[in-house]
Structure 1
Amino acid sequence: MLEFLPLGLVVLILVVISLNIVSHRVNQLVSRIALSLFGTFVSERRSINVRQVASLAGAHDPDTYRVYAAKTFLYATLAALAGSVFGVYIFIAVRQAMVAAGIPDLMPWLLGVLRNEPSEMGILGLFVLLLLSSATIGAIGAYGAYQIRWYLPRYAAGERSRRVDSTLKRNIAFLFALSRSGMPFSQVLRTLGKHTAVYGETAREFSVTMKDIDLLGADLVSSIERTSQRTPSDQLEEFTKNLASVLRSGGSLTDFLQEQYAYFLDEESAQQQRFIELLGALAEAYVTVFVAGMLFLITILVVVGLLLGGTLTFLHILVYLILGLANVGFIIYLDTVTEDRADPEQEVSYEAESALVPELSVSENPTDRQTSGTEAKNRYRLAIARRLGPIRRALRDPARLLTDRPSTILAVTVPFGLLWLVAAWWPTLVTGVVDPAALDDALIQVTLFVTGTYAVTYEIGHRRVKQIEAAIPDFLERLAATNEAGMSMVESFGRVARSDLGALSTEMRRTWADMQWGAHMETALRRFEHRIRTPAITRVTTLTTNAMGATNDIGPVLRIAADEAKSARRLERDRRNELLTYVVVVYVAFFVFLGIVLALDQVFIPSIPTGVDVGGGAAPGTGLGIGGSLGELTDAKKDAYGLVFFHAGIIQGYVSGFVAGMMSDGRLSSGAKHATAMLAIAYVFFLIFG
């Protein structure tokens, strides 16, 4: 056992180090050890590693540069130690396997290294052993650990930079609108920083700016300048530098924000055009590589297999492994490209009910509070009611729950689908002979059921959101016009609520009724936001309620919000119209793929004689040449080819649907309807013609 002691010690050290991810105490211990060993060294290199310091700041990493760099060198040292130890054991294991296989007999130049035991190698032999195994693998491990550690903050900073750029125009519109209302700019930034769930990564950057002011006592201009130095986004860096210059010089902040908003509006249009051109190139690449290329490989493997034999295994690898994984990889790449272009349909932090119910933990004992017994019990009941509120709403309106969160339906359909599979497969499985062809129908039907039900619920909720968002610009313009005409906000809202606002009409009347029953306008708007639950409505109510707290003349603020909503709506409509072409391209490519696969399955393979020597210059019984190979084509092999063609059409149809969804809307969920349609088309075609 002593010979495995070094290996056990290294494994133990690696396990302890890996615990720092989940344990705060272990993380502190590792940090102290790293600082004690490398703290002085990394502090001296801080001025040299400017890029690494910027990456950590841009990624908002909780560790300082000194701590992160010291831990990086500690991990690299441990990786070198582990690689060195593992290298020796790997070399010995490989040596024993090669000796057992007789490889040294085939390669005499390896006799001196492999035939002798390590104890018999001598100084030169041991040096070669350690050089080839321990030193090499240790160096690779240390270099890899060091590079990966510094790659992670660069990647995180790059992701944050893209998210900042995608939300910058929206945030500048918010700053412009609230500064137009007369609110102090420091309060405008503080308000924006409180709504990071609504306004995204740019708002998170400004929340850190306000922490510099509130916690560190910095002035506004200095904190904004530090934001320009810290942010990973070049666009936000330029904006904050110009903003600090305007604030320092005393120029017109409103005019500056208006100019910046117009500039980024034009920039967003240009970026969208470049994005559409990129998707066009990706669509052409998809058709060329993942459709035409796969068809070419399948056809070549079939023809070569019929002539020479032995390609059915490669055909299985191509269809069952490469075809699916290649499409999944392409979908992942599309997700990274399009994630910043899609407005996230996510749950945001709603404050309507929390503003009405005081904070109180359910586990808190009412008698522990310095209040009367009745008041404490009532507050405790309200806290429990707030916790149970989502459950009550889900039970009262399950259809709304499914359309708001379509993934909820998977909790029902997936277990039901698994039971369906077990019931359908059980008669075949109990026989002990598994025929893949007998299992296909049930699996495809369950996939259609699960994906189709999710697609229906998602599309209902998605279309509801789009109809509501389409009515927002009209609502804001009418509200701004009535307010600018001299009406108060309450009177303006009542006048607009009684007009026709399309999908918003019902909710507007409910909100107006809420105000007539005595609710404050801010509270009624928060309740309206809580009922609608869309990002666009959340942004509108956040801007409106904060502007109302600063001024009664919020008409100009609403005009800015209406312009921002209209520009976002116009860009989305243009993008959808342009990308519809690429969705059609994906469908056409799928039909071409399906048609050729069906032709191979129903025309080409059946036309070849079965078990007949059709000649070809080979000696009888040798199995060589064209005649011998074709003579080996049996009915079982024809069925095997037909099964592969069927699976190729099914797999290609399903994954192409998600590619079409990513192309059209930038969301994987939008591809569920396309995947269901293409899978159903492929299945029906094979049922009819197969």
Structure 2
Amino acid sequence: MELKRYAEIAYEQFGGLALDVVPYFQDFNMTLNKANIKLSLPEYIALAIASVFLSFGFMFAMFGTIFVLGSGLSGLVSALMLSIVVSGIVAALAYVIPLLKVNNRATVIRDMLPFAVMYLSTLAGTGSSISEMFENLAKVDEYGEVSEEAKKIHRDIDTFGMDVNEALRRGAQRTPSEDFEELLRGMEHILTTGGSVREFLRERAAKLMDDYERRIEKFADQLGLLVEMYITIVVVGSIIFTAMSAIMSSFTGFAPGFIVALQAILIFIGLPLISGMFILFIKGIAPGGIM
């Protein structure tokens, strides 16, 4: 809600400018849909423009104060350049973040899709309609982004009154996942040709599960290699560093207190930081449902 409110305020201030540049970013509208960013294209552009202006104003005020106090008026030029650089970074982030979110959603959907399709196959076996199948799927929070996509499809059918084929086509166009797109287009084809939806979903679930198991096996191999690297670099490396620093202190002019402080920083700050980054990296490459 905070993002929506910020976008509304930004649109009130920069809506006219945003509407002027909207024609140049029409393709980005689909990116926002795939990223599940619930803002219209003009609202998002206005948000980006507001963020650029705010970042420039804040950075210029901060850098300007620092440089004027330290270097006089000549420091304003440096403050201006740095503020422009930061504003450019903010503008780039406004463009890149939705793309990163699209990739992240595609990965999450890919990993949860085998289980979701198995669930849809079960529902199809009970005689549920397509609308009911996606309605029930949307209520299962464990499927995460797949449930979000199902919710949109059910909304198109139930609220907007679209026929099932059109809703499936729209769902296929806006999903960030190629696997989910293929699933929806396959369901549309089955409905058009009069085939068995249940059989199609069962076969698709089996294929997706095979792909998921292969990713699990690949992840297991990668995890073994990463654990060996962690033990070698972090555990063994820290022991060697501690021992070598103690030995080298006797051949250098560094005070013993400095060496002890350096070792303490490594043990109490460096190791936890590296371990935390290692855990985040593992979570990032792990297939959904593993961690």
Assess if the C-alpha contact under 8 Å between 2:169 and 2:184 holds in 1. yes
CA shift for structure 1 position 59 = 2.4
Q: Does 1:283 align with 2:227?
A: yes
Q: Which residue of 1 aligns with 2:46?
A: 70
Q: Which amino acid aligns with 2:89?
A: G
Q: Deviations over 1:250-300 (max 9, x none)?
A: 333222212212211211211111111121121122112111221221122
Aligned to 1:37: 17
Q: Is 1:252 matched with 2:252?
A: no
CA distance in 2, matches of 1:224, 1:285: 46
Whether the 8 Å contact between 1:34 and 1:67 is mirrored in structure 2 is no
**Matches of 1:263 and 1:340, distance apart in 2:** 17
Using the TM superposition, give the Cα deviation of residue 58 of structure 1 relative to its aligned residue in structure 2, in angstroms: 2.1
1:151 aligned onto 2:96: yes
| Equivalence for 1:164 | 109
Report what 1:188 is aligned to.
133
Matches of 1:272 and 1:181 in 2, distance apart? 31
- Residues 331-350 of structure 1 aligned to structure 2 (within 5 Å): 331-338=279-286, 340-342=288-290
Amino acid at match of 2:78: L
1:237 to 178, 181, 184: 181
* Counterpart-to-counterpart distance in 1, 2:198 and 2:3: 47
Structure 2 residues without counterparts, runs of 5 or longer = none
CA distance in 2: counterparts of 1:236 and 1:174, whole angstroms = 14
Task: Report how many aligned residue pairs link the two structures.
Answer: 287
Say if 2:2 is the partner of 1:21: yes
- Residue 321 of structure 1 aligns with which residue? 269
Rounded Cα–Cα distance in structure 2 between residues aligned with 1:53 and 1:275: 34
- C-alpha contact 1:35 1:71 (8 A) present in aligned 2: no
Q: Distance in 2 between matches of 1:40 and 1:27?
A: 17
Seen in structure 2, the aligned counterparts of structure 1 residues 269 and 29 have a Cα distance that, compared at 3 Å, is closer
- Looking at structure 1, the residues matched to 220 and 15 of structure 2 have their Cα atoms a distance apart, in angstroms, of 49
Q: Which runs of 5+ in 1 are unaligned?
A: 1-19, 96-116, 119-125, 343-665, 667-690
Q: How far does the alpha carbon of each residue in 1:11-50 deviate from its partner, in whole angstroms, 9 at most, with x for none?
A: xxxxxxxxx93894x6533222121232221x21123xx3
Instruction: Quote the Cα distance in structure 2 between the aligned partners of 1:294 and 1:313.
Output: 14
Q: Partner amino acid for 2:77?
A: L
Q: Which residue of 1 aligns with 2:151?
A: 207
Question: 1:341 & 1:198 partners in 2: Cα distance?
Answer: 10
Partner letter of residue 133 of structure 1? A
Contact between 2:134 and 2:150, CA under 8 Å: does it hold in 1?
yes
C-alpha displacement at 1:63, in angstroms?
0.8
Tell me, what secondary structure is at the counterpart of 2:25? coil
Q: Separation in 2 of the partners of 1:22 and 1:242?
A: 36
Match of 1:330 among 254, 278, 290: 278
Q: How does 1:38-187 map to 2 (within 5 A)?
A: 38-41=18-21, 43-47=22-26, 50=27, 52-95=28-71, 118=73, 129-134=75-80, 136-187=81-132
Identify if the C-alpha distance between structure 1 residues 276 and 22 changes in structure 2 by more than 3 Å, giving closer, same or farther. Answer: closer
Residue range with higher mean Cα deviation, 149-158 or 270-279: 149-158
Aligned with residue 263 of structure 1, among 199, 207, 211: 207
Q: Is the 8 A contact 1:196 1:204 kept in 2?
A: no
Question: Does the C-alpha gap of structure 1 residues 247 and 94 become closer, same or farther in structure 2, counting only changes over 3 Å?
Answer: farther
Measure, in 1, the Cα distance between the counterparts of 2:177 and 2:56.
35
Equivalent residues in 2 for 1:533-544 (5 A)?
none
Q: Is the 8 A contact 2:48 2:91 kept in 1?
A: yes
Question: Matches of 1:320 and 1:312 in 2, distance apart?
Answer: 12
Distance between the aligned counterparts of 1:133 and 1:200, measured in 2?
44
> Deviation per CA, 1:576-627, whole angstroms, max 9, x where unpaired?
xxxxxxxxxxxxxxxxxxxxxxxxxxxxxxxxxxxxxxxxxxxxxxxxxxxx
1:225 corresponds to? 169
From the two aligned structures, give the one with the greater helix fraction.
2
State whether residues 59 and 157 of structure 1, in contact with CA within 8 Å, keep that contact through their aligned partners in structure 2.
yes
User: For residues 32 and 192 of structure 2, what CA distance do their matches in structure 1 show?
Assistant: 28
RMSD, aligned CA: 2.3
The CA distance in 2 between the partners of 1:61 and 1:318, in whole Å, is 41
Any conservation in 2 of the 1:180–1:254 contact (CA below 8 Å)?
A: yes
Shift of 1:304: 0.7
SS at match of 1:307: coil
> Partner letter of residue 312 of structure 1?
V
Q: Helix, strand or coil for the counterpart of 1:228?
A: helix
Distance 1:27 1:69, change over 3 A: closer
Question: 1:326-372: CA deviations, max 9, x gaps?
Answer: 11221222233337233xxxxxxxxxxxxxxxxxxxxxxxxxxxxxx
8 Å contact kept, 2:105–2:145: yes
CA distance in 1 between counterparts of 2:214 and 2:287 reads 18
1: CA distance, partners of 2:278 / 2:221: 17
Q: Counterparts of 2:140 and 2:94 in 1: how far apart (Å)?
A: 28
Percent of aligned pairs with the same amino acid: 20
For the 8 Å contact 2:131–2:157, the answer to whether it is kept is no
C-alpha distance in structure 2 between counterparts of 1:92 and 1:203, whole Å: 54
2:13 alignment partner AA: I
CA–CA distance in structure 2, aligned partners of residues 264 and 23 of structure 1: 36
Greater displacement, 246-255 / 206-215:
246-255
Give the secondary structure class of the aligned counterpart of 1:45. helix
Instruction: Name the CA shift for 1:215/1:66 in 2 (closer, same or farther; >3 Å).
Output: same
Distance 1:252 1:142 in 2: 55
CA contact (8 A) 1:31 1:67 kept: yes
The two structures have a TM-score, normalised by structure 1, of 0.39
Partner of 1:197: 141
- Report the AA paired with residue 2 of structure 2: I
> Structure 2 CA distance, aligned partners of 1:244 and 1:205?
16
**Counterpart contact for 2:106–2:177, Cα < 8 Å:** yes
- Does structure 1 retain, via aligned residues, the 8 Å contact 2:67–2:79? yes
Distance in 2 separating the partners of 1:188 and 1:21: 33
Preserved CA contact (<8 Å) 1:213 1:220: yes
1:624-643 correspondence runs (5 A): none
Q: How far off is 1:198 after superposition?
A: 4.1
